[in-house]
Amino acid sequence: MQLQGEEEEGEEEEEEQVYGTATCSLGHRSSLILQTMEGGRICLICLTNLLSNPSSPTFHVAHALSQLSRALSHPPFLHSLLSLHPHLLVSPLLHSLSSFNDHSIASQITHIILFLSNSSPPSSLYAEFVSRIASILSGAKLHWSPRQAYMLHCLGVLLNCEMDNPYAHIKDQSALVFNLVAGLQLPSEEIQGEILFVLYKLCILQYASEEGNGSDLLFSFCPKLLRLSMEALMKTQCDDVRSNCVALLTVLAQRGYFENAFANDISIRDCCEADNFMEVTEHEKDVLPLNILFAEAIKGPLLSSDSQLQLGTLELIFHCLSWESGSSKQTQVLVEENIVDYVFEILRLSECKDPVVSSCLRVLDLLSTAEHTFGQRLAIGFTTLVPILQYVVEVPFHPVQIPTLKLIQNCILNYPGILSITQFEEIGNILTRMLRRHIDGDIDMLPETLIIACSILVDLMNSPSSHEASSLTTLVQESVGHAILASICLYEKHPKQILHSLYFLKEAYAFSHEGNSTNNKAKLELGSCIIDVCRTHLIPWFAKSISEMEDEEIVLGVLEAFHSVLLQNSHAQAKEFVMILVSSSWFSFSFGCLGLFPSEKMKWRVYLMFSSIVDVLLGNESGQPIRDAALYLPSDPSDLLFLLGQKSTQNLELLSCQSAVLLILYTSSLNDERLADEKLILASLEQYIIVNGSNFPCGAADSVTIAQLMILYGLYRGLAKMGYQIPYSSEAERILFELAAQNEWDLSSAMIHFISLKWLFQQEKIIKPLSYQILRFCRKNNSTGSHIIILGNNSQNMDVQGLAKLVAAGDNLATVLLVSLLQQLLEEEDNECDIISVVKLMVEIINIFPDAADQLCMHGIGSGIQDLFSRSSRPLSQQMFVAIEILIFDILWSVKPEILSDGGTWLAVTMKLIWYLITMVTAEGWTQESILALGILSLILHHSTSQALVEASKAILLNASLVSMINNVIQSSCSKGPALIEDDEETRKGETLTFVLILYFFSCRSFNAVLPGTLDWQNLLDPSNETQPLSLISIHCHDLCRLMHFGSPLVKLVASYCLLELFTRITDPINRKQDEIKWNIGNRISVMAILEGFVFYSDIRVAMNSALCLSMILGWEQLWMRDKKVVGRSTWCRLIVEELAMSLTVPCLASKSFMNHHKPAVHVAVALMKLHSTPEWMKKSVFDDSCISAIIENLSVGNVSVETVLLFRELLNHDYLNSDQIASLNRVFQACRKHIYNGDSQDESREENTGKVTAMPDDLGKACEFLIHLMSSNPSAHKGNKRLLEEIEMFSRSQT
């Protein structure tokens, strides 16, 4: 061969000679010489001779191949070669590839072959190279040597190109595979690796080739091929060989080779083990079973640092175990050979990389079928799964979500002890977050994922460690709501999913009641949350979807879940849930379910649930009759009514059914449910009464039946009376009323619809049984107290609430029954307890409905009270007297004045009360009972101002003994001086003084109303003037000021009201005997000093009363007093006005107490401006233009008050305002008017809703509070916005 180039300048002449010749130096034809891009030439004959000669120096061969590669990289040379001599180099290249044991030369040749194959036209060089190499390797005389590895590698590279169906160019595939399988027995890893790759490509190409005849080329070599491949995989340490082997084994596993090989291997070995006489050679003893060999072989790749090799090995295991008829024994072997540990280790080091995670979890899922052995390994590797779980649940529809969840569940269920509390809570938190994100729409999930998540949470709750995980209850609380809501939303797509969520809900509710759940706040909240989920989600969805449901199992599942809530040992939550059910018309709804699914199973569930509802509502296993008759009851409510109308004398089953029907009708009626037409129900009840009324035996059970029957009958008769008239049977009514009169029955223990209760109390024919029922209720109420249980809007126990409603309504006999019962008891002996219980009942009725006092008074309760006082010659017991006192107090507090008669009844009661008061104080001193009597006398005097109880009020006012006793208390208190502060409302003396002052206040008002003009109130201004035409309760002005100064806060308040009432009486022209008020100037100054100090008092009521009194005194000086210099010497008045101005202009600089109480100061400022000679400092120093402008700037719609307008009206009248200021005020006041008219403001002065008194013997403070409320009320004064509008109108008029 001759190669010519431009490497050396000294060879130019020789090159020129060569280029000029037609042949190479060896005389080869020019047609076989190709010119290179660099200007050189290559003689193809010389090149082939060099490559074909095994004795050629490797350096020359390598150089020639290098030059050829460079030339081939240039398109002209390549084109000339392929067009003129395409096949010339095929044989030399292959011969050289098999002749030289040089890796670099082999690599160069392989590269050139691959390049030529890719560059030649289809079905040209590529096919020839594949065919020739395959022929060489499939030869019968093939002897494996290291040089054959290069040939194998080249074939592998060509097959990997997959150009032009290479499998079709292999002529003798079987011989090739035979030689390749045989070559696997060689110890050379290099040859094994190349063989494995070629076999892998052949296996793939055979299935992809059109030349395949349907037979599997490798199948006949299967056992040997698998064993040799596995042995090679087990022994090699090279990852490349491992990768090729794993790839081949994976393809074979996909083709089912493993299934047949393992099955045959296991079968043969089982036969061998069973034959005790079979001889086994030593070699056979050393051969590992194929499944164990496989397990050993894959350990190396699993431990490899090559992640792709690990993934391929995991894929191999997956396909090996994924047979449709997979061998559990093979899985067992892999687990026993610790493959699970290898997979967990890969998973632990995966850093949650998705391909690795997916492959590992797929394998673990298959290995988990070896339950017992795998479970032990799972327990060890469980810690690896928790972070993996957190990763896979964050990815929507992750392919291994379900396997991961199953593995977690497997471990929790079978090995709960391995979970730490942290892992326990972490798993619960992960699942809860997954459900939360699913509901929020962040991720979606498969139905099975939700099902397994619910199951895992249930397993967590059932685990022994659940009570140690503090956050589990909270997590379950959130999860159960998410699970139910998700199942409801996906019901149309996945209807069965709701059953698993319901199972989760049941288990969660049971978990909330495990252990000492009543002391566990979290568990109580869990139970309440589940009930709320039922109320807000399940029940509305169930009611809406029931008509479209086709699967009875789902309906039964919902009913069973609801029933399980009722059966748990939690009366409070069960009662709450029952209220939710019955408010949803549960009885009617349940019969609707029976109509849609009329199966025995459905009927049994519905009636059992009815019985549990009745148990919870009525207690004491009241639903047992329904359980006893459930098998015999029909599904249609009409059939139930038919059963009710039958005679049941000798038929025990019918008797049981009728009891159940009555109970169902009774319970459903409590919440206004009608299971049939009202006419039909009433007719059935009447039929039942007529045919069975004479057969009612006596007994506790039948007393309950009679009560329920009375209530049901009363309800439907009451409904007929309210709406349209339904014909009724007078015979049935007669029989029922006779049963009520002749048998024991307890109406107070039964729940009753108010319509029924009202109708019963309108029937005069049963007035005696009703009176007994009231007495029975009074006795029970006196011992246990009243407990109101409301169902819906109209149903409740016959308790104080129901009776109070009846009494207040007045259209029934309840009031008559109460008063007549009291009169009846008074005629009997030794029944003081019954009398007290009736009196207490009246008190409670008035407390609930104050209007009931009107009805009691109209029906003669006054006479009853009078009879109570005169019941016997002996004094009343303390308990009886206290009960009567409270009743009188409540009546007088609540009754309207026009209802009270002014006859002798209340006069007699008043006289008796005064007698008891004087007697008790004389004997025992002031007690709670005697102090409360003062409150009652105060209420009597209060009613006299409305011209009611006038004679009784005169008896109080003119009773000398009472007056003397009251005056003694006043004098004793006034004499204490500073020590009076110790007599606060917590002491007996403080309570006595307070009520005495209250009585004095009302006596002042009553004198003015009952005996107008008979007293000269000015006499009380001078402490030295003791002349009084009549003996009356009298407290001089100076003593009231002393009480205000030294007394407790409550005494200050009441005394300020008394002083204001006294000054009001003096100011009233009707009471003024002279044109001039005579008042010692020293006393006047001292009184004013006290009042001026209290304008700053913290109690706004005391401050306002003091300011009003002070303004009255200023008014007296202007009109009726000679000495008018007192005002000018009062620096306190100036301080008050200055503080007022400062608080209105710059509120942040004013004293805090006065900022909150500037209203009283307004009255003082107005009174000062009304004086004949207004102090000069008013206009010069205080209310100048700048001050008034600043006040106006601070005004807004929200802070305008009556006092503010009053102040500006007086400033306007005295020319303190300029035109701009008036215009600004008009704008503010106009906006205020608009605000009020639009209804945007609330009445700030609205009278407080203090409720009615609940005066108990040990709670005089409450009675005092109500009496003070009466003292502060002024019926003639307008309140709130109305008063404000009047002041604004007066301001407007003052401008004209």
What pLDDT band is residue 10 in, cutting at 50, 70 and 90? very low
C-alpha distance across the termini of the chain, in Å: 137
Q: What is the pLDDT of residue 1066?
A: 84
Compute the distance between CA of residue 938 and CA of residue 950 in angstroms, rounded to an integer.
13
**Paired strand residues for 43:** 33
DSSP string, 18-32: HHHSSS-TT---GGG
Compute the distance between CA of residue 746 and CA of residue 878 in angstroms, rounded to an integer.
31
What pLDDT band is residue 1095 in, cutting at 50, 70 and 90? confident
Q: What is the pLDDT of residue 1119?
A: 53
Average pLDDT, the chain: 83
CB 615 within 8 A of CB 563: no
Q: What is the pLDDT of residue 372?
A: 80
Q: What is the pLDDT of residue 627?
A: 94
What pLDDT band is residue 1076 in, cutting at 50, 70 and 90? low
Diameter of the chain measured on Cα atoms:
171
What pLDDT band is residue 700 in, cutting at 50, 70 and 90? very low
Q: Which of 144-148, 300-304, 460-464, 1250-1254 has the lowest mean pLDDT?
A: 1250-1254
Compute the distance between CA of residue 687 and CA of residue 1032 in angstroms, rounded to an integer.
72
**pLDDT above 80 (res 1072):** no
For the segment 814-824, what is each residue's pLDDT rounded down to a tens digit? 999 999 999 99
Spatial neighbors of 373 by CB under 8 A, at least 6 apart, are 332, 335, 336
**pLDDT above 90 (res 660):** yes
* Closest to 116 measured CA to CA, from 56, 67, 68, 149: 68
**pLDDT above 80 (res 179):** yes
Compute the distance between CA of residue 1065 and CA of residue 1021 in angstroms, rounded to an integer.
12
- Tokens at 617, concatenated: 């509502």
Distances from the Cα of 997 to the Cαs of 109, 184, 808, 842, 1107, in angstroms? 127, 121, 34, 29, 20
- Mean of pLDDT values over 958-977: 88
Compute the distance between CA of residue 486 and CA of residue 439 in angstroms, rounded to an integer.
6
Q: What is the pLDDT of residue 22?
A: 55
Compute the distance between CA of residue 161 and CA of residue 284 in angstroms, rounded to an integer.
41
* Closest to 628 measured CA to CA, from 608, 606, 650, 609: 608
Compute the distance between CA of residue 421 and CA of residue 247 in angstroms, rounded to an integer.
43
- Mean of pLDDT values over 750-755: 87
Torsion angle of C-alpha atoms 1001, 1006, 1011, 1014, degrees rounded to 10: 10
- Mean of pLDDT values over 328-350: 89
The SS3 call for residue 790 is strand
For the segment 372-407, what is each residue's pLDDT rounded down to a tens digit? 888 888 888 888 999 999 899 888 888 899 999 999
For the segment 197-238, what is each residue's pLDDT rounded down to a tens digit? 988 888 888 876 655 554 567 777 778 888 899 999 999 999
- Name the phi and psi angles at 4, rounded to 5: -115, 135
Q: What is the pLDDT of residue 278?
A: 45
For residue 471, the 8-state DSSP code is T
Which runs of consecutive H residues, i.e. helices, occur in 754-901? Answer: 754-760, 767-784, 800-809, 814-827, 832-848, 852-858, 861-869, 878-894
What pLDDT band is residue 1195 in, cutting at 50, 70 and 90? confident
CB 117 within 8 A of CB 123: no
pTM of this structure = 0.73
- CA 373, 375, 379, 380 dihedral sign is positive
Burial class (CB in 10 A: 0-12, 13-18, 19+), 708: buried
DSSP string, 219-266: GGGHHHHHHHHHHHHHH---HHHHHHHHHHHHHHHHTTHHHHHHHHHH
Distances from the Cα of 731 to the Cαs of 689, 691, 1163, in angstroms? 9, 11, 76
Query: pLDDT over 90 for what percent of the chain?
Result: 31
What pLDDT band is residue 270 in, cutting at 50, 70 and 90? very low
Q: Which of 26-40, 465-479, 881-895 has the lowest mean pLDDT?
A: 26-40
Q: What angle do CA 1200, 1204, 1205 make, to 5 degrees?
A: 90
For the segment 524-571, what is each residue's pLDDT rounded down to a tens digit? 899 999 999 999 999 999 999 998 898 999 999 999 999 999 988 777
**pLDDT above 80 (res 1127):** no
- Mean of pLDDT values over 125-149: 81
For the segment 410-439, what is each residue's pLDDT rounded down to a tens digit? 888 888 888 888 888 899 999 999 998 888
Q: What is the pLDDT of residue 6?
A: 35
Q: What is the pLDDT of residue 446?
A: 87
Compute the distance between CA of residue 534 and CA of residue 509 in angstroms, rounded to an integer.
11
Q: What is the pLDDT of residue 878?
A: 87
Query: pLDDT over 70 for what percent of the chain?
Result: 87
What pLDDT band is residue 1168 in, cutting at 50, 70 and 90? confident
Compute the distance between CA of residue 1043 and CA of residue 980 in angstroms, rounded to an integer.
8
Compute the distance between CA of residue 1136 and CA of residue 1092 in angstroms, rounded to an integer.
8
| Crossing angle (nearest 10°) for helices 173-183 and 189-208 | 150
**pLDDT above 60 (res 1121):** no
CB 924 within 8 A of CB 994: no
Q: Which residues of 674-698 are buried (b: 16+ CB within 10 A; e: fewer)?
A: bbbeeebbbbbbbbbbbbbbeebee
**Paired strand residues for 33:** 43
CB 1284 within 8 A of CB 1203: no
What pLDDT band is residue 797 in, cutting at 50, 70 and 90? low
